[in-house]
C-alpha cells in the first residue's frame, strides 16, 4: 500500500490529458506532512486538504462557517444540502467543528488517476455548492 | 453499535480540549485487544476445523470399508449355510456382529465430527462478524481523529494573515471574477484569431490579383513617365 505522499506525488506527475485539464499545486501543510494541501488552478480560494487514516483517504474542501449562515435559513440550508448529497458526484456534505465542507473518501488502495479525478470533481462541487446555496449565506 | 454512539456524543459535544482523544484510549485498547483475541480464536478454530474434517473423512472411509467387509462376510456365511457348515456359519455370524458394532461406533463418531464441524463453522462466522464490526468502528474513531488532527493543522496554517481562508461568498466572487477574466481573454483571443484569419484571406486575394495588388515600383515609374510625356 503506497503512502499518501507517494500517491500524491503520482497525482502531480500525471500528464495533462489524464488530469483532464486540471492543474494541481500539491504541497504538504507546513508542520504536518500528513495533511496535503492541493490547490486547483483557478480555484485558489478553495483549497482541498487530503489526509489519510488506516482505511481511507479523505479529501476535504471547506465551504462556510456556522457564522456565515443567515440566521433563520439554517434548517432550509441543511435540508437543501441533504437533498443534494446523493446526486452530488463523488462528494458529500459534512461538518467539521463549526465549518461545513464537501469531502470525498477513497479507499487507500487507489490510484493517482482516481485521486486526481476526485480532487477536480470535489473542487468543482465546492464552487457549485457555494454558488447554489449562497442565498442562505450572509 | 458501541463506539458509534460514543463517537456521536464526542463529536456533537464539540468544544473539547485540543489534543483530547475522541474516544478514551482505554476503550480503544479494549477494542483492539478484542480484535486481536478474535483473530487468534479464528486462527485456532480454522486449525481445529481442518483436524475435525480430516477425522470425519477418516470415519467415513472406515464406515465404507466395514460395509464392504459386511458384504464379504455375509457372502461367506450364506455359503457356509448352503454347504451345511452350521458351526462355521455361526463363527462368521459372530464376526459380522463384531463388524456391525464397530460400524455403529464409527457412525456415532462421524456424527460427532459433523456436529463439531458445524459448531466450529458457526463460531468462525460469528468471530469474523465481530472482527468486521470492531474494525469498522475503530476505523471510524481513527478517521475522526485524523480529521480533527488535520483540522488543527489547517487552522494553525490558515489562522490569520495573508493565507487566511476567505468566507464562502468572497471566495466564490473571486473565483467567478477569475473565470470571467479567463473567458474575456479567450474571447479576445478568438476575435484576434478571426482578424488574422481575414487578413490572410485578403493576402490570398491580392496574391491572385483579385483584390488591390501591392503597387510595384515599375508601375509607379510607368505612371511618372506618362505624366512627363503629357507635360
Instruction: Give the number of other Cβ atoms within 10 Å of residue B190's Cβ.
Output: 9
* Closest CA–CA distance from residue A15 to any residue of chain B (Å): 22
Q: What is the pLDDT of residue A110?
A: 92
Report yes or no: B167 at the A interface, CB cutoff 8 Å: yes
Q: How confident is the model at residue B15 (pLDDT cuts 50, 70, 90)?
A: very low
Q: What is the pLDDT of residue A121?
A: 95
Greatest mean pLDDT among B89-93, B141-145, B224-228? B89-93
Listed by start position, the domains of chain A span: 4-136
Judge whether A102 and A61 are in contact, CB under 8 Å: yes
Share of chain B above pLDDT 70, in %: 89
d(CA B96, CA B73): 6
A2-50 tens-digit pLDDT: 788 889 999 999 988 888 788 999 999 887 878 999 999 889 999 999 9
The predicted model gives B15-39 an average pLDDT of 75
Q: What is the pLDDT of residue B20?
A: 61
Residue B21 region, left (φ>0) first, then alpha (ψ -120 to 50), else beta? beta
Q: What is the pLDDT of residue A89?
A: 93
Report yes or no: A137 at the B interface, CB cutoff 8 Å: yes
Cβ contact, residue pair B171, A52, below 8 Å: no
- The minimal CB distance from A127 to the residues B143, B153, B172 is found for B172
Report yes or no: A80 at the B interface, CB cutoff 8 Å: no
Domain span holding position B182: 169-230
The predicted model gives A112-137 an average pLDDT of 95
Share of chain A above pLDDT 90, in %: 76
CA B26 to centroid of chain Cα atoms: 29
For residue A57, what is the nearest residue in chain B, using CA coordinates? B143
Q: What is the CATH number of the domain that holds B122?
A: 1.10.287.1700
Domain identity same for B98 and B182: no
* CA-based nearest residue to B170, from A45, A61, A44, A70: A45
Domain identity same for B157 and B173: no
The predicted model gives B166-191 an average pLDDT of 88
Domain identity same for B200 and B107: no
Chain B residues in contact with A47 (beta carbon < 8 A): 165
Residue labelled with grid coordinates 487507489: A110
Q: What is the pLDDT of residue B163?
A: 60
For residue A64, what is the nearest residue in chain B, using CA coordinates? B168
Of the candidate CATH numbers 3.40.50.10490, 3.40.640.10, 3.30.70.2860, 3.30.1460.10, the domain formed by A4-136 belongs to 3.30.1460.10
Q: What is the pLDDT of residue B213?
A: 57
Residue B86 region, left (φ>0) first, then alpha (ψ -120 to 50), else beta? alpha
Has residue B173 got a pLDDT over 60? yes
Report yes or no: A27 at the B interface, CB cutoff 8 Å: no
Share of chain B above pLDDT 90, in %: 45
- How many residues are listed for chain A in this entry? 138
Q: What is the pLDDT of residue B164?
A: 67
Q: How far apart are the first and last CA of chain A?
A: 44
Has residue B208 got a pLDDT over 90? no
To the nearest 10°, report the CA torsion of B61, B66, B68, B71: -160
Q: What is the pLDDT of residue B198?
A: 72
* Chain B interface, best mutation among A51, A77, A128, A129, by max B CB count within 10 A: A51
> Over chain B, what is the mean pLDDT?
85
Domain identity same for B38 and B101: yes
Indicate the residue among B108, B140, B161 that finishes a domain: B161
The grid coordinates listed for B111 are 456424527
* Chain B interface, best mutation among A35, A62, A100, by max B CB count within 10 A: A35
Q: How far apart are the first and last CA of chain B?
A: 114
> Which residues make beta-bridge pairs with A49?
A37, A60
DSSP chain B: -HHHHHHHHHHHH----TT--SS-HHHHHHHHHHHHHHHHHHHHHHHHHHHHHHHHHHHHHHHHHHHHHHHHHHHHHHHHHHTT-HHHHHHHHHHHHHHHHHHHHHHHHHHHHHHHHHHHHHHHHHHHHHHHHHHHHHHHHHHHHHHHHHHHHHHHHSSSGGGPPPPHHHHHHHHHHHHHHHHHHHHHHHHHHHHHHHHHHHHHHHHTTSSPPPPPHHHHHHHHHHHHHH-
A61-117 tens-digit pLDDT: 999 999 999 999 999 999 999 999 999 999 999 998 889 999 999 999 999 999 999
Chain B residues in contact with A43 (beta carbon < 8 A): 175
The grid coordinates listed for B65 are 470399508
Q: What is the pLDDT of residue B101?
A: 96
Cβ contact, residue pair B154, A52, below 8 Å: no
The grid coordinates listed for B124 are 468462525
Secondary structure of A67-85 in the HEC alphabet?
A: HHECCCCHHHHHHHHHHHH
Domain identity same for B133 and B218: no
Domain identity same for B106 and B211: no
Cβ contact, residue pair A137, B168, below 8 Å: yes
Q: How many domains does chain B have?
A: 2
Q: What is the pLDDT of residue A17?
A: 83
The predicted model gives B101-126 an average pLDDT of 95
Report yes or no: A81 at the B interface, CB cutoff 8 Å: no
B49-90 tens-digit pLDDT: 999 999 999 999 999 999 999 999 999 999 999 999 999 999
Q: Which of A85-99, B89-103, B210-224 has the lowest mean pLDDT?
A: B210-224
Domain identity same for B33 and B138: yes
Indicate the residue among B145, B161, B177 that finishes a domain: B161
Query: What strands, in cross-sheet order, belong to the sheet with A24-29?
Result: A24-29, A32-40, A48-52, A56-65, A99-107, A92-96
Greatest mean pLDDT among B30-34, B105-109, B175-179, B186-190? B105-109
The predicted model gives B173-198 an average pLDDT of 85
* Closest CA–CA distance from residue A44 to any residue of chain B (Å): 8
* CA-based nearest residue to B91, from B114, B108, B73, B71: B73
Chain B residues in contact with A53 (beta carbon < 8 A): 139, 142-143, 145-146
Domain identity same for B81 and B150: yes
Report yes or no: A55 at the B interface, CB cutoff 8 Å: yes
Has residue B207 got a pLDDT over 90? no
Amino acid at each position: 500500500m503506497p503512502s499518501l505522499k507517494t500517491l500524491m506525488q503520482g497525482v502531480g506527475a500525471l500528464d495533462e490529458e489524464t488530469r483532464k485539464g486540471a492543474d494541481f499545486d500539491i504541497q504538504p501543510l507546513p508542520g504536518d506532512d500528513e495533511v496535503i494541501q492541493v490547490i486547483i488552478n483557478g480555484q485558489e480560494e478553495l483549497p482541498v486538504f487530503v489526509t489519510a487514516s488506516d482505511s481511507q483517504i479523505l479529501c476535504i474542501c471547506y465551504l462556510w462557517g456556522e457564522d456565515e449562515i443567515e440566521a433563520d435559513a439554517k434548517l432550509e440550508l441543511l435540508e437543501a444540502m441533504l437533498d443534494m448529497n446523493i446526486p452530488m458526484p463523488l462528494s458529500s456534505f459534512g461538518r467539521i467543528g463549526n465549518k461545513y465542507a464537501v469531502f470525498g473518501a477513497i479507499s487507500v488502495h487507489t490510484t493517482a488517476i482516481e485521486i486526481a479525478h476526485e480532487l477536480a470533481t470535489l473542487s468543482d462541487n465546492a464552487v457549485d455548492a457555494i454558488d447554489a446555496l449562497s442565498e442562505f449565506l450572509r | 453499535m458501541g463506539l458509534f454512539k460514543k463517537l456521536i456524543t464526542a463529536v456533537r459535544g464539540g468544544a473539547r480540549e485540543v489534543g483530547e482523544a475522541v474516544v478514551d484510549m482505554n476503550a480503544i485498547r479494549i477494542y483492539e485487544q478484542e480484535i486481536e483475541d478474535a483473530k487468534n480464536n479464528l486462527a485456532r478454530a480454522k486449525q481445529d476445523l481442518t483436524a475435525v474434517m480430516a477425522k470425519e473423512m477418516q470415519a467415513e472411509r472406515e464406515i465404507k470399508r466395514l460395509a464392504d467387509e459386511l458384504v464379504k462376510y455375509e457372502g461367506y456365511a450364506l455359503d457356509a449355510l448352503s454347504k451345511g457348515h452350521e458351526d462355521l456359519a455361526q463363527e462368521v455370524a459372530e464376526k459380522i456382529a463384531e463388524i456391525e458394532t464397530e460400524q455403529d461406533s464409527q457412525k456415532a463418531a462421524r456424527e460427532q465430527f459433523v456436529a463439531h464441524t458445524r459448531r466450529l463453522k458457526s463460531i468462525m462466522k460469528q468471530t469474523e462478524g465481530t472482527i468486521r464490526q470492531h474494525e469498522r468502528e475503530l476505523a471510524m474513531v481513527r478517521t475522526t481523529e485524523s480529521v480533527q488532527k488535520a483540522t488543527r493543522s489547517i487552522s494553525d496554517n490558515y489562522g490569520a494573515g495573508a493565507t487566511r481562508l476567505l468566507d464562502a461568498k468572497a471566495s466564490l466572487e473571486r473565483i467567478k471574477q477569475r473565470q470571467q477574466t479567463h473567458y474575456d481573454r479567450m474571447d479576445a483571443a478568438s476575435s484576434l484569431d478571426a482578424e488574422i484569419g481575414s487578413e490572410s484571406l485578403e493576402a490570398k486575394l491580392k496574391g491572385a490579383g483579385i483584390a488591390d495588388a501591392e503597387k510595384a515600383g515599375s508601375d509607379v515609374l510607368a505612371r511618372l513617365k506618362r505624366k512627363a510625356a503629357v507635360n
